[in-house]
Amino acid sequence: MIPSPSPFRAVLSGGDSFVYRARVESWLGSELLDDDVPMVDGAEESDITLRVPERITITVPRVVDGVNYAPNTARSTLGAFGQRLRILLGIDSRHGQTEWIQRGWFVIQDATADGDQITVNAVGLLALIDEARLVSPYQPTGTFGSTLRGLLEPAIPVDLTNAPADRSVPASINFDENRLDAVNALLDAWPAAGRINNQGVYVVTNGDADVVDTITDSSVILRDSAGSSRDDAYNCVVTRGVASDGGVVQGVAYDTSSGPHAYAGNFARLPVPYFFASPLLTTVAQCNTAAASVLARLLRESGPRFDLETVPIPIWEAGDKFIVTTADIDAETCIAERVSLSYTAGGGPMRLGMRAQ
């Protein structure tokens, strides 16, 4: 959940009516190109199962007050030459005061002028890593933390304040070409979780998320639906690595919970394994720890789905954890796997794709 000033939260939870506002800034490096891009419509789609989770689309008039916003030069406000958009969302209380929060930073992917309007598509900052292939094999010589910094910085700053205990990377490791694949492999083997926050910083944690809010019929739910599937569901994880003498080491983690995918339970009487191999794992203990972490992530991604529609709550993000209670859901702990949020008041409800935990 995005940190917000207490007046902002008070308005959201107080039940009073409020006016929903948005402001878009355009930056090229450290230079502010426009502090109030005249957006007439905009929306954000986030899905934590994607390599680059965030995508936004905004619509801007071609000409406003004599200013032509068509992306016709490399330094245009809406150009795709490194320009980034900073999205701020605000609410006006009945007292007439606007409280703002920063929703996030996005890289302009493309902008097209058609008639008197311009459509701008922008993506989350991980797109910078996804497109930045390694020119030559990368052989790290430090720790997991320093290797992660080497893969992400200076494009995206890294915060390791709450990262798991660091350890050395095996000397024989080489990462080929795909930089984002290397980042994800590093996190799985550590094990750790990474997420870009609203300030544009890649924050590394142990993956345990706190409940940020509750959602109930009596508060914000407008409509809900649900579903489940056996696709990509597992009850154990097998991890394999390479010991210092070249031998294979292996670890296994079984779902021993009382959950719906518990090993030898009703879901499957036999193992349904997910296999994960990494040369970053050099001991059985490391393999076991990584297997448990990967299994926890897979279980989060395969729980029952709850699709909710709510009034817009601009501080909620994909990856947040909630307690959900509706006529069909009884105090279920859920992760917001997908979030759809309009940036304008007339854009309809906020949509949350939940996974029960």
User: Per-domain residue ranges for the chain?
Assistant: 6-124, 129-205, 236-301
Residues 315, 321, 323, 325, Cα dihedral to 10°? 80
Give the per-residue pLDDT at 17.
63
Query: What three-state secondary structure class fits 279?
Result: coil
Neighbouring residues of 64: CB distance < 8 A, sequence distance ≥ 6:
38
> Can you read off the two tokens belonging to residue 178?
């795909």
Tell whether the model's pLDDT for residue 95 goes beyond 70: no
CA separation (Å) from 263 to 8, 70, 234, 292, 313?
45, 57, 9, 13, 38
Give the per-residue pLDDT at 220.
58
Residues 94, 98, 104, 106, Cα dihedral to 10°? 110
> Can you read off the two tokens belonging to residue 129?
């890593």
CATH topology of domain 129-205: Phage tail protein beta-alpha-beta fold (3.55.50)
Query: What three-state secondary structure class fits 154?
Result: coil
Q: Residue 16 — very low, low, confident or very high, per pLDDT cuts 50/70/90?
A: low
Backbone angles phi, psi at 89, to 5 degrees: -120, 140
**Does residue 16 or residue 26 have the better pLDDT?**
26
Tell whether the model's pLDDT for residue 51 goes beyond 70: yes
Backbone angles phi, psi at 189, to 5 degrees: -80, -20
Tell whether the model's pLDDT for residue 15 goes beyond 60: no
> Can you read off the two tokens belonging to residue 161?
């304040």
Q: Which amino acid, residue 301?
A: E
Which residue, 98, 87, 105, 102, is CA-closest to 8?
98
Backbone angles phi, psi at 129, to 5 degrees: -85, -35
- Mean pLDDT over 216-226 rounds to 65
Instruction: Tell me if 99 sits within 8 A of 314, measured CB to CB.
Output: no
Task: Provide the mean pLDDT of the chain.
Answer: 91
Strand (E) or helix (H) holding 239: strand 236-242
Residues 318, 82, 65, 87, Cα dihedral to 10°? 20
Give the per-residue pLDDT at 328.
73
- Mean pLDDT over 74-89 rounds to 97
The CATH architecture that domain 6-124 belongs to is Beta Barrel (2.40)
pTM, two decimals, is 0.91
Give the per-residue pLDDT at 305.
82
Lowest mean pLDDT among 13-22, 34-43, 166-175: 13-22
DSSP 8-state assignment for residue 166? P
- Mean pLDDT over 16-24 rounds to 82
Tell whether the model's pLDDT for residue 99 goes beyond 60: yes
